[in-house]
Protein backbone atom coordinates (compact mmCIF):
# COMPACT_ATOMS: atom_id res chain seq x y z
CA UNK A 1 0.00 0.00 0.00
CA UNK A 2 2.86 2.36 0.78
CA UNK A 3 4.16 1.84 -2.78
CA UNK A 4 0.79 2.96 -4.18
CA UNK A 5 0.78 6.14 -2.12
CA UNK A 6 4.41 7.14 -2.65
CA UNK A 7 4.63 6.25 -6.35
CA UNK A 8 1.32 7.90 -7.17
CA UNK A 9 1.71 11.13 -5.22
CA UNK A 10 3.57 13.28 -7.74
CA UNK A 11 1.80 12.04 -10.86
CA UNK A 12 -1.67 12.39 -9.30
CA UNK A 13 -1.02 15.87 -7.90
CA UNK A 14 0.47 16.96 -11.23
CA UNK A 15 -2.55 15.62 -13.15
CA UNK A 16 -4.86 17.43 -10.73
CA UNK A 17 -2.97 20.68 -11.32
CA UNK A 18 -3.37 20.23 -15.08
CA UNK A 19 -7.09 19.50 -14.54
CA UNK A 20 -7.53 22.80 -12.67
CA UNK A 21 -5.56 24.68 -15.34
CA UNK A 22 -7.64 23.29 -18.20
CA UNK A 23 -11.04 23.80 -16.63
CA UNK A 24 -10.06 27.37 -15.77
CA UNK A 25 -9.30 27.90 -19.47
CA UNK A 26 -12.47 26.16 -20.67
CA UNK A 27 -15.49 27.35 -18.63
CA UNK A 28 -17.81 25.37 -20.94
CA UNK A 29 -16.13 22.15 -19.77
CA UNK A 30 -16.40 23.20 -16.13
CA UNK A 31 -20.09 24.03 -16.56
CA UNK A 32 -20.77 20.59 -18.08
CA UNK A 33 -19.07 18.88 -15.13
CA UNK A 34 -21.17 20.92 -12.69
CA UNK A 35 -24.33 20.08 -14.67
CA UNK A 36 -23.44 16.39 -14.56
CA UNK A 37 -23.07 16.63 -10.77
CA UNK A 38 -26.61 18.04 -10.73
CA UNK A 39 -28.23 17.98 -7.31
CA UNK A 40 -25.21 16.33 -5.69
CA UNK A 41 -23.48 19.65 -5.13
CA UNK A 42 -23.11 19.38 -1.38
CA UNK A 43 -23.34 15.68 -0.68
CA UNK A 44 -20.66 13.05 -0.40
CA UNK A 45 -20.52 10.96 -3.53
CA UNK A 46 -20.75 7.20 -3.36
CA UNK A 47 -18.68 4.98 -5.64
CA UNK A 48 -21.84 4.41 -7.72
CA UNK A 49 -22.38 8.16 -8.09
CA UNK A 50 -18.72 8.66 -9.05
CA UNK A 51 -19.04 5.87 -11.62
CA UNK A 52 -22.03 7.65 -13.17
CA UNK A 53 -19.99 10.80 -13.95
CA UNK A 54 -19.10 9.82 -17.52
CA UNK A 55 -18.36 13.35 -18.73
CA UNK A 56 -15.90 13.82 -15.86
CA UNK A 57 -14.22 10.58 -17.02
CA UNK A 58 -13.87 12.12 -20.49
CA UNK A 59 -12.38 15.31 -19.03
CA UNK A 60 -9.85 13.33 -16.99
CA UNK A 61 -8.97 11.24 -20.06
CA UNK A 62 -8.49 14.44 -22.04
CA UNK A 63 -6.29 16.00 -19.35
CA UNK A 64 -4.17 12.82 -19.29
CA UNK A 65 -4.06 12.82 -23.10
CA UNK A 66 -3.23 16.50 -23.44
CA UNK A 67 -0.45 16.37 -20.84
CA UNK A 68 0.41 12.80 -19.77
CA UNK A 69 1.90 12.58 -16.27
CA UNK A 70 5.23 11.42 -17.72
CA UNK A 71 6.82 12.01 -21.09
CA UNK A 72 7.33 8.32 -21.78
CA UNK A 73 8.93 5.10 -20.67
CA UNK A 74 12.15 3.27 -21.47
CA UNK A 75 11.98 -0.44 -22.18
CA UNK A 76 14.53 -3.16 -22.92
CA UNK A 77 13.65 -5.42 -25.85
CA UNK A 78 13.32 -9.08 -24.95
CA UNK A 79 13.54 -10.22 -28.58
CA UNK A 80 14.68 -8.94 -31.96
CA UNK A 81 12.15 -6.76 -33.77
CA UNK A 82 11.85 -4.34 -36.66
CA UNK A 83 10.12 -0.95 -36.86
CA UNK A 84 7.22 -1.33 -39.31
CA UNK A 85 7.45 1.97 -41.19
CA UNK A 86 11.20 2.51 -41.40
CA UNK A 87 12.42 -1.07 -41.37
CA UNK A 88 15.03 -0.22 -38.72
CA UNK A 89 16.27 -3.43 -37.11
CA UNK A 90 16.14 -3.64 -33.31
CA UNK A 91 17.87 -6.32 -31.29
CA UNK A 92 17.23 -8.09 -28.03
CA UNK A 93 18.71 -6.00 -25.20
CA UNK A 94 18.32 -2.69 -27.07
CA UNK A 95 16.81 0.18 -25.09
CA UNK A 96 13.79 1.89 -26.67
CA UNK A 97 11.84 4.94 -25.50
CA UNK A 98 8.05 5.07 -25.84
CA UNK A 99 7.09 8.77 -26.11
CA UNK A 100 3.66 9.03 -24.44
CA UNK A 101 3.42 12.77 -25.10
CA UNK A 102 4.13 12.36 -28.82
CA UNK A 103 1.59 9.55 -29.18
CA UNK A 104 -1.15 11.74 -27.70
CA UNK A 105 -0.43 14.47 -30.28
CA UNK A 106 0.05 12.25 -33.35
CA UNK A 107 -2.65 13.02 -35.94
CA UNK A 108 -2.48 9.46 -37.27
CA UNK A 109 -4.17 8.21 -34.10
CA UNK A 110 -6.78 10.92 -33.51
CA UNK A 111 -9.69 11.91 -35.78
CA UNK A 112 -10.26 15.20 -33.94
CA UNK A 113 -7.30 17.62 -33.96
CA UNK A 114 -5.02 16.39 -31.14
CA UNK A 115 -3.83 19.94 -30.45
CA UNK A 116 -7.35 20.85 -29.24
CA UNK A 117 -8.43 20.30 -25.64
CA UNK A 118 -11.76 18.63 -26.35
CA UNK A 119 -13.09 16.07 -23.81
CA UNK A 120 -16.03 15.18 -26.06
CA UNK A 121 -13.58 13.34 -28.34
CA UNK A 122 -13.96 10.33 -26.01
CA UNK A 123 -17.75 10.25 -26.50
CA UNK A 124 -17.61 10.57 -30.27
CA UNK A 125 -15.17 10.16 -33.11
CA UNK A 126 -12.12 9.32 -31.00
CA UNK A 127 -13.92 6.92 -28.64
CA UNK A 128 -12.35 3.97 -30.49
CA UNK A 129 -8.84 5.42 -30.71
CA UNK A 130 -5.82 3.14 -30.98
CA UNK A 131 -5.32 1.58 -27.54
CA UNK A 132 -1.65 2.57 -27.47
CA UNK A 133 -2.25 6.20 -28.51
CA UNK A 134 -3.30 6.99 -24.93
CA UNK A 135 -1.17 5.23 -22.32
CA UNK A 136 -0.59 7.83 -19.59
CA UNK A 137 0.19 5.01 -17.16
CA UNK A 138 2.08 2.84 -19.62
CA UNK A 139 0.62 -0.14 -21.42
CA UNK A 140 0.68 -3.90 -21.56
CA UNK A 141 1.92 -6.03 -18.69
CA UNK A 142 4.31 -3.28 -17.54
CA UNK A 143 1.65 -0.61 -17.02
CA UNK A 144 1.42 1.24 -13.72
CA UNK A 145 0.02 -1.01 -11.03
CA UNK A 146 -1.61 1.98 -9.33
CA UNK A 147 -3.43 3.46 -12.32
CA UNK A 148 -6.92 2.48 -11.11
CA UNK A 149 -6.23 4.06 -7.71
CA UNK A 150 -4.81 7.18 -9.41
CA UNK A 151 -7.88 7.54 -11.64
CA UNK A 152 -10.22 7.07 -8.67
CA UNK A 153 -8.30 9.67 -6.63
CA UNK A 154 -8.33 12.13 -9.53
CA UNK A 155 -12.03 11.66 -10.13
CA UNK A 156 -13.03 11.89 -6.46
CA UNK A 157 -10.96 15.03 -5.85
CA UNK A 158 -12.05 16.66 -9.12
CA UNK A 159 -15.72 15.94 -8.38
CA UNK A 160 -15.41 17.31 -4.85
CA UNK A 161 -13.72 20.47 -6.13
CA UNK A 162 -16.45 20.95 -8.74
CA UNK A 163 -19.08 20.60 -6.01
CA UNK A 164 -17.55 23.44 -4.02
CA UNK A 165 -15.68 25.89 -6.26
CA UNK A 166 -15.49 27.42 -9.71
CA UNK A 167 -12.05 28.04 -11.18
CA UNK A 168 -11.45 31.10 -13.33
CA UNK A 169 -8.60 31.99 -15.63
CA UNK A 170 -6.10 34.12 -13.70
CA UNK A 171 -5.03 35.90 -16.88
CA UNK A 172 -2.68 35.19 -19.73
CA UNK A 173 0.46 36.13 -17.79
CA UNK A 174 -0.04 34.04 -14.66
CA UNK A 175 -2.06 31.20 -16.26
CA UNK A 176 0.02 30.82 -19.41
CA UNK A 177 0.64 27.11 -18.99
CA UNK A 178 3.82 25.62 -20.32
CA UNK A 179 5.75 22.89 -18.58
CA UNK A 180 9.10 21.62 -17.48
CA UNK A 181 10.17 18.02 -17.53
CA UNK A 182 11.00 16.44 -14.20
CA UNK A 183 9.84 13.00 -13.09
CA UNK A 184 6.45 14.20 -14.30
CA UNK A 185 5.52 16.91 -16.81
CA UNK A 186 5.21 19.75 -14.29
CA UNK A 187 3.21 22.89 -15.11
CA UNK A 188 5.21 26.12 -15.08
CA UNK A 189 2.70 28.97 -15.07
CA UNK A 190 -0.61 28.09 -13.45
CA UNK A 191 -2.59 30.90 -11.85
CA UNK A 192 -6.34 30.63 -11.37
CA UNK A 193 -9.07 32.42 -9.47
CA UNK A 194 -11.27 30.47 -7.07
CA UNK A 195 -14.91 31.32 -6.40
CA UNK A 196 -16.67 29.36 -3.67
CA UNK A 197 -20.10 28.19 -4.83
Q: Is 144 annotated as a binding residue?
A: yes
Half-sphere exposure of 9 (CA within 13 A, CB side): 6
Query: Dihedral angle at the C-alpha atoms of 153, 26, 190, 5, nearest 10 degrees?
Result: 10
Alpha carbons 24 and 3: distance in angstroms, whole number: 32
Residue 62: what are its φ and ψ, rounded to 5°?
-70, -40
Q: Is the dihedral of CA 21, 102, 13, 28 positive or negative?
A: positive
Q: Does residue 82 contact residue 89 with C-beta atoms inside 8 Å?
A: yes
Q: How many CB atoms lie within 10 A of CB 86?
A: 7
Annotated binding-site residues read: 144
Annotated binding-site residues for heme read: 144
Amino acid sequence: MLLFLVAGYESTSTALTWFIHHISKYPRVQAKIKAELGDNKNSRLSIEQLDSLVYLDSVIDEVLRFVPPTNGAARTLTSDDQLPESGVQLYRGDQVFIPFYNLTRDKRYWKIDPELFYPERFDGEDKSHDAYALIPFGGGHRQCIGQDLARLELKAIAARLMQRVTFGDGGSEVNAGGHKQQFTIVPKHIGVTIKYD
